[in-house]
């Protein structure tokens, strides 16, 4: 990434939602992600993390501000975008997609700070707005050619759209394996697997290859009856962001044999799904199965818009609350969930939106639920003793489990 410029390649800054295939027509670009190179380093170091959050607060971004923004600004304030050996990082362009409103606002603040050309695309909620999305994508291509001084190649776009669709379908097939009891993966492992899409992008052939191999491996686990947690006897679903720093949230319930096996956010944010009339999620067909043709830019952009507007129900949840609640309730039933746990992070208005309504909805389906007050970016704002107590009561009193070990 840091040597991209030497190879004549580009560096793009952008959140986890961007249409990864879209910039590919300009040539090889590397995704610096939504948080910059110092983000992981900051999260691994408690002192550095709290120092960066303090600096954010002094700059006016307090505890009620979007956690992504605070994480990003904080990591910028303590280290900028430079590599660990101090090499300056030049960002060629910044593409952000507005799924969550605070995300769009955050992106604008960050763009001003890192001084790179910035473009924001609004992802509308339904396929009815397909023409609006395609118009924005065409505007972006025109803009990208201007700011990079390079010619956009439609063949590269077509290849990238094929890859992105393929990766999303592979991810959904992998998540589908989580319906099996016992689950082959824990939720935390799923998020680790997801990282390649965030960091490398869904548009690359290497990413397609990685998820093909990952799916084969997970299917092998299922065939052999290999469980993520051998004592699994209770399946939990988590909604609202998990903490981005190391915490006890996913590990603690395992002493009761309770395992976090999935979430709408995990399955939906990177997958491709078809939502049936009854609300159930089915893995989306591939481009080939749908018989879609891509012979030019217009057709490729139409296919990309279809992927984001027709087969990405997780995106819709940010704008259409009823869909999010229905999606989560359906997933809880179809993935054989015994209990829902939600994080009501007061600062995250995007991922936590609808948590209370979801709790009501899953309870109506006979699935118990519990909520805790988490803080996905600030460990000082998370009371782990209160969390332990809530989980213990939920698992022992509501779900009738006894601890397997102390
Ligand atoms: S989902 Fe939460 S953390 Fe992410 S951009 Fe939206 S408000 Fe910020």
> What pLDDT digit, counting tens, does each position of 138-197 carry?
999 999 999 999 999 999 999 999 999 999 999 999 999 999 999 999 999 999 999 888
Q: Is the CB of 354 under 6 A from ligand 1?
A: no
SS3 (DSSP) at 378: coil
- pLDDT, greater one: 18 or 388: 388
Question: 298-322, pLDDT tens digit by residue?
Answer: 999 999 999 999 999 988 888 899 9
Statement: residue 79 has pLDDT above 80: no
Residue with tokens 């009193």: 397
pTM over the 0.85 mark: yes
Q: Do 66 and 74 touch, CB atoms closer than 8 A?
A: no
Q: Is the CB of 351 under 6 A from ligand 1?
A: yes
Q: Which residues have C-beta within 8 Å of that of residue 378, sequence separation ≥ 6?
A: 49, 50, 53, 63, 67, 70
Q: Is the CB of 67 under 6 A from ligand 1?
A: yes
Average pLDDT value for the chain: 91
* Strand positions, DSSP E, 60-201: 93-98, 118-122
Q: Is the CB of 65 under 6 A from ligand 1?
A: no
Q: How confident is the model at residue 218, as a pLDDT?
A: 98
Statement: residue 37 has pLDDT above 80: no
Percent of the chain with pLDDT over 90: 65
Question: 361-386, pLDDT tens digit by residue?
Answer: 999 999 999 999 998 889 998 999 99
Statement: residue 82 has pLDDT above 60: no
Q: Give, rounded to a whole angstrom, the gap between the first and last alpha carbons of the chain.
A: 45
Residue nearest to atom 5 of ligand 1 (CA): 103
The region that residue 257 occupies, defined by phi over 0 for left and psi between -120 and 50 for alpha, beta otherwise, is left
Under DSSP, the state recorded for 262 is E
Distance CA 29, CA 38 (A): 19
* Strand positions, DSSP E, 174-333: 234-239, 258-262, 273-275, 281-283
**Which atom of ligand 1 is the closest one to the Cα of 69?**
8
Ligand 1: residue of 16, 34, 68 to mutate (most ligand atoms within 8 A of CB) is 68
Task: HSE, CB side, 13 Å, CA atoms: give it for residue 214.
Answer: 26
């Amino acid at each position: 990434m840091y040597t991209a410029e030497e190879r004549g390649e580009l560096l793009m800054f952008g959140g986890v939602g961007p249409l990864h295939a879209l910039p590919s027509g300009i040539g090889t670009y590397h995704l610096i992600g939504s948080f910059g190179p110092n983000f992981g380093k900051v999260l691994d170091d408690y002192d550095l993390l709290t120092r960066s959050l303090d600096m954010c607060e002094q700059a006016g971004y307090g505890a009620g501000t979007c956690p992504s923004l605070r994480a990003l600004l904080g990591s910028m304030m303590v280290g900028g975008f430079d590599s660990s050996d101090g090499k300056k990082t030049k960002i060629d362009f910044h593409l952000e997609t507005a799924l969550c409103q605070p995300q769009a606002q955050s992106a604008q603040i960050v763009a001003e700070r890192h001084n790179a050309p910035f473009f924001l695309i609004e992802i509308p909620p339904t396929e009815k707005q397909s023409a609006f999305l395609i118009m924005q994508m065409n505007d972006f291509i025109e803009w990208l050619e201007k700011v990079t001084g390079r010619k956009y190649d439609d063949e590269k776009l077509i290849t990238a759209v094929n890859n992105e669709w393929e990766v999303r379908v592979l991810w959904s097939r992998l998540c589908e394996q989580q319906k099996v009891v016992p689950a082959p993966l824990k939720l935390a492992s799923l998020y680790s697997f997801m990282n390649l899409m965030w960091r490398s992008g869904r548009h690359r052939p290497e990413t397609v290859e990685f998820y093909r191999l990952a799916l084969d491996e997970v299917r092998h686990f299922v065939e052999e009856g290999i469980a993520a947690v051998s004592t699994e006897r209770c399946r939990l679903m988590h909604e609202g962001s998990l903490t981005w720093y190391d915490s006890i949230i996913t590990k603690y319930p395992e002493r009761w044999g309770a395992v976090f096996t999935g979430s709408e956010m995990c399955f939906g944010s990177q997958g491709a799904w078809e939502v049936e009339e009854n609300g159930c999620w089915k893995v989306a067909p591939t481009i080939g199965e749908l018989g879609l043709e891509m012979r030019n830019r217009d057709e490729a952009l139409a296919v990309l818009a279809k992927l984001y507007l027709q087969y990405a129900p997780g995106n819709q949840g940010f704008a259409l609350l009823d869909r999010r609640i229905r999606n989560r309730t359906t997933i809880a039933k179809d993935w054989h969930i015994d209990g829902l746990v939600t994080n009501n992070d007061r600062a995250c208005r995007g991922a936590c939106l609808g948590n209370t309504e979801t709790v009501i909805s899953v309870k109506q389906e006979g699935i118990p639920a519990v909520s805790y007050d988490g803080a996905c970016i600030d460990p000082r704002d998370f009371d782990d003793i209160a969390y332990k107590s809530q989980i213990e009561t939920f698992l022992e009193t509501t779900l009738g489990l006894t601890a397997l070990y102390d």
